[in-house]
């Protein structure tokens, strides 16, 4: 299977005009675009994925409901729909996504061998009760799912931040909706 190609950005988020394979993107710390999707159920709970124990970075940590790279030539909404289908087994339409914000993320992982420099678009979607009951974790990507209310998440993260992938802007947003 051919390696996923990703459009490269300049550090200011503008297109650099070329694409690279995912391995090179992270080996060199090239700027690129990704997406985060926060999935809610009809009761206001948030879905967190337990990253696979096989993942190269952040294995066995709780993370956004769904996330992924934007493939070269694609846009963030199409990537979000694809990732929902692949990672959690849910079919959604673009109209089902609510755009929340863009964030910038810089991180060095795996003893300085993996550089993650990205701009990411963040979305929210709501699952029906039936969709919530029939989630399918993608093998090698997701080991399990955990549902939490915003308050439960904030409490668990305050007690054990090391169990969560760090997404400061996302978590500030969750804190802001806790009281709405």
Q: What is the pLDDT of residues 144-161, one digit of tens each?
A: 999 999 999 999 999 999
Tokens of 38: 């926060």
**178, pLDDT greater than 80:** no
The predicted structure's pLDDT at residue 112: 86
Give the mean model confidence (pLDDT) for residues 48-70: 95
pLDDT, the chain, mean: 95
pLDDT tens column, 83-92: 999 999 999 9
The predicted structure's pLDDT at residue 105: 92
**65, pLDDT greater than 70:** yes
Are 92 and 84 contacting, i.e. CB atoms less than 8 angstroms apart? Answer: yes
Residue with tokens 């967190």: 48
Q: Which pLDDT band, with edges at 50, 70 and 90, does 180 fall under?
A: low
**179, pLDDT greater than 70:** no
CA 36 to CA 79: how far, in whole Å?
A: 10
Contacts 24+ apart (CB under 8 A), 10-16: 11/117, 13/104, 13/119
Assigned superfamily of 5-177: Nucleoside Triphosphate Pyrophosphohydrolase (3.90.79.10)
Are 125 and 96 contacting, i.e. CB atoms less than 8 angstroms apart? Answer: yes
Q: Which pLDDT band, with edges at 50, 70 and 90, does 111 fall under?
A: confident
Tokens of 75: 């846009």
In the chain, where the domains are located? 5-177
Start-end of H helices in 128-167:
129-133, 150-159
**Other residues' Cβ atoms within 10 Å of the Cβ of residue 170:** 21
Report the predicted TM-score, pTM, of the whole model to 2 decimal places. 0.94
Percent of the chain with pLDDT over 70: 99
Are 11 and 28 contacting, i.e. CB atoms less than 8 angstroms apart? Answer: no
């Amino acid at each position: 299977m051919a390696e996923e190609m990703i459009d490269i950005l300049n550090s200011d988020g503008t297109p650099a005009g070329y694409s690279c394979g995912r391995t090179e993107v992270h080996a060199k710390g090239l700027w690129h675009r990704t997406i985060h999707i926060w999935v809610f159920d009809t009761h206001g709970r948030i879905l967190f994925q337990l990253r696979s124990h096989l993942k190269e970075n952040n294995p066995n940590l709780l993370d956004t409901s769904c996330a992924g790279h934007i493939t070269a030539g694609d846009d963030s909404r199409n990537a979000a729909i694809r990732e929902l289908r692949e990672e959690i087994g849910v079919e959604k339409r673009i109209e089902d996504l609510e755009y929340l914000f863009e964030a910038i993320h810089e991180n060095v992982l795996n003893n300085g061998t993996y550089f993650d420099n990205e701009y990411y678009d963040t979305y929210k979607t709501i699952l029906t009760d039936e969709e919530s009951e029939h989630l399918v974790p993608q093998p090698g990507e997701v080991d399990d799912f955990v549902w939490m209310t915003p308050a439960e998440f904030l409490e668990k993260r305050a007690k054990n931040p090391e169990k969560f992938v760090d997404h400061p802007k996302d978590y500030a947003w969750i804190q802001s909706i806790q009281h709405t």
